[in-house]
Structure 1
């Protein structure tokens, strides 16, 4: 039983006991009119965000804050982990101490959460994970997850590349800028892409290293790739900010992004779609950051005691120069 329901039950029991005593003392049969249900009052929710390492993450934070407002029935406690899991663990423990109704986490990595999530479960606080997933030995520690099918994104990228370069006779040399190692996005996109190209004997991943989802690190790693490998045909950047860094590095090396080197990226933020339109990025695989409304809806249902699906995928699409118009870009919310 959820904490809110427990509180109501405790209140009703106390009221019944008081009513019984009053009846024995000549107090009559007055019904309690002061009890209230949690679903009609403010929901206290604590949200631990990875940080602000990318434009995508900033849009994700904005979506969460916009949905979890007092006007929408929420009291939000927000904690920026600055990309450190220890900060997230500390924040979750603080949420538990505060006695929030729901905890939401956009985790830095998938593992290392068992202990603190058991503490949340002991406190009877449901946990919703956002964007990246958490792996635990006890499935009940997570109530629901909202995010993207990262492996499917990787598979889609592989399928697109096979259509574009699958018939080439020579080797297709691929460099991969991975996201934060151990994060759901990195794991899923890496696995999906590798599985997708496994039957293409001429596709060779000649370099792979984390760019930590940041533009500066993406540029640094791409510069290193170019020093070690003269013939890079394709760059797969696991987010847009790393793609921007790779583009800067390629230009500095005298190469034309999108022409001399095929660029594949993930997220599809507005700035990246402009580069698709200009031809600097060849294909964008959307990762929708607007999770706030879905999280708000889930939190309300959970607090009412309603059953919710554990996996909540968001809708996404693929962008190339053919379908990336000025109108599409202008309508983009992130």
Structure 2
């Protein structure tokens, strides 16, 4: 997808690989330019829930590129979808003297004790992509999509496609995560206006194509009429789409995240649509705002990226040329 920030973020600066805290296989960048104040090379950790799909890697790329531009060290840590691992990473960052942490909470609840420890150690924490419990009390800010708004936009498009009646299936992210709960809240807000729509099947596929493919195959085999698939991310939408195509079923599938594979499927007329929340920008803006905070500037408590609906009518605007 076209990244509007790339020109600004890649202004002739070269990344240098460092060793990250918290285990092997983690990556980092150190910028060679001066930061906004010109007097400190801040060390910032970005704790991602996982690094297994195009969305999370785009967030990480945005964070690393912005760190390079601003002349700060940015280390990317992979939580591997394990709340305990993520909590341990925060504790390690405290011990290693990081100036700040950006975290995408795997669990909105489970992250709380570790963030409390960071607060007590006076290490500021910002949430990105997903929020945490007691967000305003415990984190200095949030940078990411408005998940409820994105879910509402996606479900409204699905309702338009099926004429406001019929059976749908819903594929969720990890149960209890902020994105899962907030996107579902958006769904529920729309569905209350459509009494003739029934959720025939719903389950988590944990953001993965493989789980979505398996679950969709099972649901199709029941013989139940399915009029649309609404998946909380593109990876799951593409898995469901493959199951439909393999079974010879023409069922519109709706994704969310606007990753490259989804955009290509929309261009080809296979995927009905997706919602962009600027994954790259979420990482870049998060790092930029944290540097401002460390420099003593005020930042907004909530910084939402724009939700944009993408289908065949406008997909060419968002595909990398």
Structure-1-length-normalised TM-score: 0.81
Residues 92, 38 of structure 1: CA spacing in aligned structure 2 closer, same or farther, 3 A cutoff?
farther
For 1:34-53, what aligned pairs fall within 5 Å after superposition?
40-53=39-52
Q: Which structure's CA Rg is the greater one?
A: 1
Distance of 2:113 and 2:37 partners within structure 1: 28
Tell me the equivalent position of 1:222.
216
- Alignment of 1:313 onto 2:304: yes
Residues 304, 184 of structure 1: CA spacing in aligned structure 2 closer, same or farther, 3 A cutoff?
same
Q: 1:240 aligns with which of 234, 239, 251?
A: 234
Q: 2:318 aligns with which of 315, 322, 328?
A: 328
Q: Which runs of 5+ in 1 are unaligned?
A: 1-36
- Alignment of 1:62 onto 2:61: yes
Q: 2:156 aligns with which of 155, 159, 178?
A: 159
For 1:8-87, what aligned pairs fall within 5 Å after superposition?
40-69=39-68, 72-87=70-85
For 1:1-334, what aligned pairs fall within 5 Å after superposition?
40-69=39-68, 72-136=70-134, 139-166=136-163, 171-255=165-249, 260-290=250-280, 291-325=282-316, 328-331=318-321
Partner deviation per Cα, 1:172-218 (whole Å, 9 max, x = no partner): 10001111111122111111112102121211111000010011111
Deviation at 1:109, TM superposition (A): 1.7
Deviation at 1:114, TM superposition (A): 2.3
Q: Which runs of 5+ in 2 are unaligned?
A: 1-35
Tell me the equivalent position of 1:11.
none
Larger CA deviation: 245-254 vs 142-151? 245-254
Distance of 2:223 and 2:300 partners within structure 1: 46
Distance of 2:288 and 2:61 partners within structure 1: 17
Relative CO higher for 1 or 2, CA cutoff 8 Å, sep ≥ 6? 2
Distance of 1:293 and 1:133 partners within structure 2: 17
Task: Give secondary structure in 2 for the equivalent of 1:76.
Answer: strand
Partner deviation per Cα, 1:90-139 (whole Å, 9 max, x = no partner): 11000001111111111112112222112111111111111011012x73
Deviation at 1:306, TM superposition (A): 1.6
Distance of 1:50 and 1:57 partners within structure 2: 8
Q: Could you tell me whether the CA contact under 8 Å between 1:154 and 1:196 is conserved in 2? A: no
Q: Could you tell me whether the CA contact under 8 Å between 2:158 and 2:228 is conserved in 1? A: no
Residues 199, 88 of structure 1: CA spacing in aligned structure 2 closer, same or farther, 3 A cutoff?
same
Q: Could you tell me whether the CA contact under 8 Å between 2:59 and 2:284 is conserved in 1? A: no
Structure-2-length-normalised TM-score: 0.84
